[in-house]
A and B are shown apart, each in its own frame.
Chain A
Amino acid sequence: MKNTFIGASIERREDLRFLRGRGIYVDDLTVPGLLYAVILRSSVAHGRLKSVDTSAALKIPGVHAVITAKDMNFTDYPAGVPIVPMRLQPLPEFKPFEQPVIAYDKVRYVGEPIAVVLASSVAVGEDALEHIAVEIEDLPPVATWRAAQKNESILFEPTGTNRSLMFEARKGDADTAFRDAPYTRRENLRTGRHYGLTMEPRGVMAEWDAAKNKLTVSGAAKVPFFNRRILAKQIGLAESDIEMIENDVGGGYGARGEFYPEDFLIPFAAKHINRPVKWIEDRRENLMAMNHARETEADLEIACNRDGTIIGVRGDVHTDMGAYMRTNGAVGARNAPQFMTGPYRVPHHKVDSHLWMTNKTPVGTYRGPGRFEGCFYMERLLDMVAADLGIDRVEMRRRNLISKAEHPYKLATAQPTNAHDQTDSGDYHATLDLCLKEFGWSEKSKLGGKLVGGKYHGVGVACFIEGGAAGPKESARLEINRDSTITVFMGTSSVGQGVETIYAQIAADALEVPIERIRHVYHGSTNTVSDGYGAYHSRSVVMGGSAVLVATEKFMATLRQAAGKRLGCAESSVTLDVDKVVAGGFSLPLGEFAGLTAESAFLNHKHTYSYGSHATHITVDAKLGHIEILDYLVVQDVGRAINPLTLRGQVIGSLVQGLGGAVLEDLKYDEQAQFLTGTLADYLLPLASDFPNLRCIVTDDHPSPINPLGAKGAGEGGIVAAGGCMANAVANALQSFGVQPRALPLSPTYIWELVQAGQQKAAE
């Protein structure tokens, strides 16, 4: 039979448990003898840790132990306290800035772990926190990148600097090009501090079996194999002594599943006290402990010809990195300068990216890292340039989009990591045209700037590319069950995307069996395959899906060989017919080959680039500074859509996260680097009532040439252009005031201030 599960809107198999409250998340686990960990975190942004006195806490009934840095004496580390290494861009320059798993000499942000209480309940553990006496000698806090730049108060004194690195994004010869350019414009642009808040806070449960020398860690997500390598090295065990178990995971968005201090502290605690220990992050902790992201300020210059064609970009991007270089913390600061040019042809490119250490929660990735920021810079610049040069905004983009014939188009290279990149395929003009047509741009844009019923109408457009499919490889394994069904084992993880359904679709198509025959898809735990790389960079479908394809080929070859031998037939005559193996007139139940298994890996060093356009129609109430979205359309070409139903979920879901960052979300600190957004009433996530009018169209007209599925990563397209598109629409709406938003989020106060400034200027 020839299947067409790929491309069909198959309802998800995961839903059957989630909808009935039968998903098992890490806090749903319990084991006999379990102790609960509660973490004492620094309330001081920057200071020297003088002493931690746990004696009073230890007297509280139900408190079993309080762990501090003094309990750690790991000879691999100078201070005895393990350090969390970088996973991506692990440059030697970053080493001095990496985070110890627990504070031992200094505290560098509000929320840094100082002690771990092990208690009979979470409540008792929290009671004990108030009885731990911590002495900290205050140091001047560094609350902004500008303060960091002064190098007056230095977070890591031996380094002598608060700048951990400068990335250089380069292409062509920007300085020469700018010297001869007929037109340039320079702008200062800022993005707010966001994070990939997951609805399920993080959690770890660790069980130590001393007799078997076996550590079992539940709560893994995203990159379990990598995290096992880190933990094994830190804690002094062999990788095979540790099993990482992935449970149902309540959201990832780049933030969950990286190796955090707690990913050491909880297994260590379990081993230390020889009892199972569980830690579940509460929301207040989550806001100050999970990786932050996105806070940048860019000073950029663009050079163009009079016809609007871009000659080059140059300038500086400053990222507020927070207090430590965490596992993937450099990604955003590298991506923003490297990929800010997006889908546009930019021959000359010279942007320096400065990574400033501040006394804030450390930074990691959040969906579309650096790309949301970079797209905001670029799209704002394009609108301002178009206005300066008297060119229609859409025409400005058409003139600069990379054409179909130009692929693969070389993007800027980032140093010192020598990160080359290039596009893969696509017709960027076609998605823009489709977007404008379906959006009704020609009609709606006539309303731009008009005051109707007390509100100013505005339209905005923005284009994006989305990098996906990070290598170097991914693994899949298929195994025959006794009941003649097949199980798929994956090296990638689930963070809610629906990979169990999608891998079943791909496997069923490849094996030409009904999808129900793919009985289970297991993923994310270190016992599924020999090695796995996880779920990030929109890689699950491309890398994992391609791994399924190559594994099915190996599986069929192995089955043909076994069945051919068994049935005495030529291997080439063996076929799989639902639950039977058929050859030369004979047939055997597939279950006869139970245990037959084949694992294979897909290798890839190139990236996919899905692409598309956003268009929005908003109104602005200038007196309130309030934005309402009347219509928002995302058109994205994904190379090949595996499941249009779940793909729409990715696009709309990421779009609303982007709109959150464009309009609502901002993690704030005061000048003492005290954290001000410690509740969900302060960090404002989008609600069901905020953005009701959103649409998306997903096309798959231009398959990726770099993988057998033709698929492209598509988890970030909704988020990347949301900030730029919204800010452009606000500028269009408030053109009579001369408003040009240069910062996100577009909060009521900010928009109101822009209007006030515009009015004042007009009055002068």
Chain B
Amino acid sequence: MPVKFEVNGKPVSVDVEPRLTLADCLRHHLRLTGTHVGCEHGVCGACTVLVDGDAVRSCLMLAVQAEGAKVVTVEGLSNDDDLTPLQKSFRKHHALQCGFCTPGFITTAHALLTEEPDCDADRVREVLSGNICRCTGYIAIVEAVLDARSAYKKTTP
């Protein structure tokens, strides 16, 4: 069935089976392969994208449910010129190794820091407990997210 929504600021329209997940739609129909699929049962968080600003697991959402929504993927949080402050912080702290879970951490951390730029380490750990990383042991990821908070704080006019 036909579905229209917005991905990374651009309108898209796809014709999909109802059973197609948003994750597979993004990856295989829209060729946005930065969103990774690690479990397909809503545990690992690698497929996290933003839907209308909320971090959600795109393997636990049907593409047809995205009708009319604004979806942002890791590609939408990146640019060609330079790494974003969050990405720079991940690189500085070596908060990634194989990189497979990384897009899910970037989208989740971005949602968290956008809403709660003052979050503390416990809150970061609580929120990131929905994303599994097998390489880093998380210490560097938490450091990277905490270190990136300043970039999300609203500058006072």
What are the residues of chain A within 8 A of B94 when measuring CB–CB? Answer: 11-12, 645-646, 648-649
Known A-B contacts A18-B102, A123-B17, A251-B100; the reply to A200 vs B36 at CB < 8 A is yes
Ordered nearest first, which 3 A-B pairs have the shortest CB separation?
A21-B34, A496-B98, A18-B99
What are the residues of chain B within 8 A of A496 when measuring CB–CB? Answer: 97-100, 135
Which one of B34, B41, B78, B126 contacts A689 once the chains associate, using CB atoms below 8 Å? B126
Known A-B contacts A652-B139, A657-B134; the reply to A199 vs B41 at CB < 8 A is no
Known A-B contacts A250-B100, A652-B139, A679-B41; the reply to A199 vs B83 at CB < 8 A is no
> What mask results when residues 685 to 700 of chain A are scored 1 for a CB within 8 Å of chain B, else 0?
1111101101000000
What are the residues of chain B within 8 A of A341 when measuring CB–CB? Answer: none
- Report Cα–Cα, A19/B40, bound state, in Å: 22
Q: In terms of DSSP, what is the predominant structure of the interface of chain A? A: loop
Contact A282 B92 (CB under 8 A): no
Known A-B contacts A12-B91, A692-B125, A692-B142; the reply to A19 vs B106 at CB < 8 A is yes
Contact A691 B43 (CB under 8 A): no
> What mask results when residues 244 to 283 of chain A are scored 1 for a CB within 8 Å of chain B, else 0?
0000111111000000000000000000000000000011
- Interface residues of A, count at CB 8 A: 57
The stretch among A23-31, A90-98, A148-156, A356-364 that forms the contact with chain B is A23-31
Q: Does A408 contact B (CB under 8 A)?
A: no
- Interface residues of B, count at CB 8 A: 55
Q: Does A655 contact B (CB under 8 A)?
A: yes
Number of residue pairs A-B, CB distance < 8 angstroms: 176
Q: Does B132 contact A (CB under 8 A)?
A: yes
A-B contact pairs, 17 of them (CB 8 A): A15-B87, A15-B96, A18-B99, A19-B96, A21-B103, A22-B78, A27-B37, A199-B100, A200-B36, A250-B36, A653-B136, A680-B132, A687-B129, A687-B132, A687-B138, A688-B129, A718-B137
What are the residues of chain B within 8 A of A497 when measuring CB–CB? Answer: 97
What are the residues of chain A within 8 A of B83 when measuring CB–CB? Answer: 16, 19-20
What are the residues of chain A within 8 A of B27 when measuring CB–CB? Answer: 27-28
Within 8 A of A (CB), among B141-156: 141-142
> What mask results when residues 109 to 144 of chain B are scored 1 for a CB within 8 Å of chain A, else 0?
000000000000100111011011111111111100
Contact A24 B136 (CB under 8 A): no
B92 → A minimal CB distance (Å): 6
What are the residues of chain A within 8 A of B17 when measuring CB–CB? Answer: 123
Which one of B19, B35, B97 contacts A123 once the chains associate, using CB atoms below 8 Å? B19
Within 8 A of A (CB), among B15-44: 17, 19-20, 27-28, 32-41, 43-44
Within 8 A of B (CB), among A1-46: 11-12, 14-25, 27-28, 30
B96 → A minimal CB distance (Å): 6
Q: Does A197 contact B (CB under 8 A)?
A: yes
A468 → B minimal CB distance (Å): 18
B24 → A minimal CB distance (Å): 9
A393 → B minimal CB distance (Å): 26
What are the residues of chain A within 8 A of B135 when measuring CB–CB? Answer: 199, 251, 496, 649, 653
What are the residues of chain A within 8 A of B98 when measuring CB–CB? Answer: 18, 198-200, 248-252, 495-496
> What mask results when residues 28 to 72 of chain B are scored 1 for a CB within 8 Å of chain A, else 0?
100011111111110110100000000000000000000000000
Within 8 A of B (CB), among A631-648: 645-646, 648
- Report Cα–Cα, A687/B82, bound state, in Å: 30
Contact A19 B125 (CB under 8 A): no
Within 8 A of B (CB), among A159-213: 197-201
- Chain A CB count within 10 A is highest, among B20, B34, B75, for B34
A637 → B minimal CB distance (Å): 20
Q: Does A681 contact B (CB under 8 A)?
A: yes
> What mask results when residues 652 to 678 of chain A are scored 1 for a CB within 8 Å of chain B, else 0?
111111000000000000000000000
Q: Does B7 contact A (CB under 8 A)?
A: no
> What mask results when residues 74 to 95 of chain A are scored 1 for a CB within 8 Å of chain B, else 0?
0000000000000000000000
What are the residues of chain B within 8 A of A646 when measuring CB–CB? Answer: 94, 97
A8 → B minimal CB distance (Å): 13
Contact B87 A28 (CB under 8 A): no
B16 → A minimal CB distance (Å): 11
Q: A28-B27, A199-B46, A687-B128 are in contact. List 14 more A-B contacts (CB 8 A).
A: A15-B90, A15-B96, A30-B28, A199-B38, A199-B132, A250-B36, A252-B98, A496-B97, A652-B139, A680-B39, A681-B43, A687-B132, A688-B124, A692-B139
CB-nearest residue of chain B relative to A692?
B125
Q: Does A708 contact B (CB under 8 A)?
A: no
Known A-B contacts A12-B94, A21-B33; the reply to A652 vs B136 at CB < 8 A is yes
Contact B140 A15 (CB under 8 A): no
Q: Does A315 contact B (CB under 8 A)?
A: no
What are the residues of chain B within 8 A of A591 when measuring CB–CB? Answer: none
B144 → A minimal CB distance (Å): 10
Using CB atoms and an 8 Å cutoff, list the residues of chain A in contact with chain B: 11-12, 14-25, 27-28, 30, 123, 197-201, 248-253, 282-283, 495-498, 645-646, 648-649, 652-657, 679-681, 685-689, 691-692, 694, 718
- Report Cα–Cα, A655/B83, bound state, in Å: 29
CB-nearest residue of chain A relative to B128?
A688
Contact B137 A652 (CB under 8 A): yes
CB-nearest residue of chain B relative to A643?
B94
What are the residues of chain A within 8 A of B28 when measuring CB–CB? Answer: 30
- Report Cα–Cα, A11/B44, bound state, in Å: 26
CB-nearest residue of chain A relative to B107?
A21
Which one of A18, A27, A198, A688 contacts B131 once the chains associate, using CB atoms below 8 Å? A688
Contact A197 B134 (CB under 8 A): yes
- Report Cα–Cα, A125/B18, bound state, in Å: 17
Contact A694 B34 (CB under 8 A): no
- Report Cα–Cα, A646/B133, bound state, in Å: 16
What are the residues of chain A within 8 A of B142 when measuring CB–CB? Answer: 688, 692
B109 → A minimal CB distance (Å): 11
What are the residues of chain A within 8 A of B32 when measuring CB–CB? Answer: 21
Contact B34 A22 (CB under 8 A): yes
CB-nearest residue of chain A relative to B79?
A20
Contact B140 A199 (CB under 8 A): no
Contact B87 A20 (CB under 8 A): yes
CB-nearest residue of chain A relative to B39?
A283
- Report Cα–Cα, A253/B98, bound state, in Å: 11
Contact A253 B134 (CB under 8 A): yes
What are the residues of chain B within 8 A of A657 when measuring CB–CB? Answer: 134, 137
- Report Cα–Cα, A251/B46, bound state, in Å: 13
Contact B35 A655 (CB under 8 A): no
Contact A283 B41 (CB under 8 A): yes
Contact A649 B38 (CB under 8 A): no
What are the residues of chain B within 8 A of A691 when measuring CB–CB? Answer: 137-138
Contact B100 A25 (CB under 8 A): yes
CB-nearest residue of chain B relative to A25?
B100
CB-nearest residue of chain A relative to B121?
A692
- Report Cα–Cα, A24/B78, bound state, in Å: 16
- Report Cα–Cα, A34/B128, bound state, in Å: 36
Known A-B contacts A15-B90, A20-B34, A645-B94; the reply to A198 vs B134 at CB < 8 A is yes
B44 → A minimal CB distance (Å): 6
What are the residues of chain B within 8 A of A198 when measuring CB–CB? Answer: 98, 100, 134
CB-nearest residue of chain A relative to B31?
A30
CB-nearest residue of chain B relative to A21?
B34
Known A-B contacts A20-B74, A21-B75; the reply to A282 vs B40 at CB < 8 A is yes
- Report Cα–Cα, A654/B19, bound state, in Å: 38
Contact A653 B97 (CB under 8 A): yes
CB-nearest residue of chain A relative to B124?
A688
Contact A21 B74 (CB under 8 A): yes
